[in-house]
Amino acid sequence: MTLSMNSPDKIIRADCISKVFVHEGVEIRPFHNVSLEIRRGEMLAIMGPSGSGKSTLLHVLGGIEPPSSGDIWIEGHNVAKLSDRDRTLLRRRRIGFIFQSFNLVPTLTVSENVALPLILDGVASRDAASRALASLQRVGLSDRLSHLPTQLSGGEQQRVAIARALVIKPALVLADEPTGNLDSARGRDITLMLRDVAHENHQTVVVVTHDLRVASHADRLIVLLDGRVTYNGKPGTDAELVAALKQEIDV
């Protein structure tokens, strides 16, 4: 494993990363020359208009998609230099993903979906099940253990995904619009939960969101626009932010 020259309190360091998709000769550049450092125990929100490259950035930061140029260090490992096996183990043990959609394996029950990273890691099934139950309790779904994903609502599926991301007590949680399908009360609960995870357990949480209220709970906010980071700082008050975003979107 390659060690970075980063200080140990940085969980992620992105150095001049760019992403280019080429499709039938047309180049799409979701982001360009982005440099970023994320501290342990920090809750970071990423905002930006639809199609601005938020999800892609999240995938690159989590090491499931390589950048077209630039380097990513996760917990001191240069992701590009890791073997597939090491990258997989890193994901399995250190990173929890929550996607915008397609989060769950449709043929596994709720409890199995949550226990999946543990099962894959060879944790004894009884142990895995009880940890899955604990995780599901946190998102308020402990009564739906044996249901299949298709028997849940979109928001419930999203919460199962959150439970799964948290079950391994990951160093890094990457969440792509975790509250997109939730009502405001639930959304707030989940956001607060993610913040607690970051502050109390010293885990890092990166949330992509369209919701200013979610962003306002974060320690730091990044706004992505036209492939560049146009804002990197405190979320501040709602009103200030709305104004800032509106202005940027109008440009």
Ligand X SMILES: Nc1ncnc2c1ncn2[C@@H]1O[C@H](COP(=O)(O)OP(=O)(O)OP(=O)(O)O)[C@@H](O)[C@H]1O
DSSP output for 169-233: --SEEEEESTTTTS-HHHHHHHHHHHHHHHHHH--EEEEE-S-HHHHHTSSEEEEEETTEEEEEE
Chain residues 79-118 in contact with ligand X, contact rule CB under 6 A: 100
Chain residues 50-79 in contact with ligand X, contact rule CB under 6 A: 50-56
* Token pair belonging to 194: 């993610």
* Token pair belonging to 61: 């930061």
Minimum distance between the CB of residue 208 and ligand X, rounded to whole angstroms? 7
Q: Which is nearer to ligand X, 55 or 191 (CB)?
A: 55
Minimum distance between the CB of residue 52 and ligand X, rounded to whole angstroms? 4
- Comparing CA positions, the residue from 206, 214, 134, 147 lying closest to residue 182 is 214
Q: Which is nearer to ligand X, 117 or 178 (CB)?
A: 178
Give Cα 223 distance to the centre of its chain. 16
Q: Does residue number 46 form part of the binding site for another protein (CB under 8 A)? A: no
* Token pair belonging to 227: 């492939």
* Token pair belonging to 17: 């990363």
How many chain residues bind ligand X (CB under 6 A)? Answer: 13
Minimum distance between the CB of residue 127 and another protein, rounded to whole angstroms? 13
The residues binding Mg ion (CB under 5 A) are 55
The residues binding another protein (CB under 8 A) are 59, 64-65, 84-85, 88-89, 91-93, 97, 102-108, 112, 116-117, 119-122, 125, 148, 150, 164
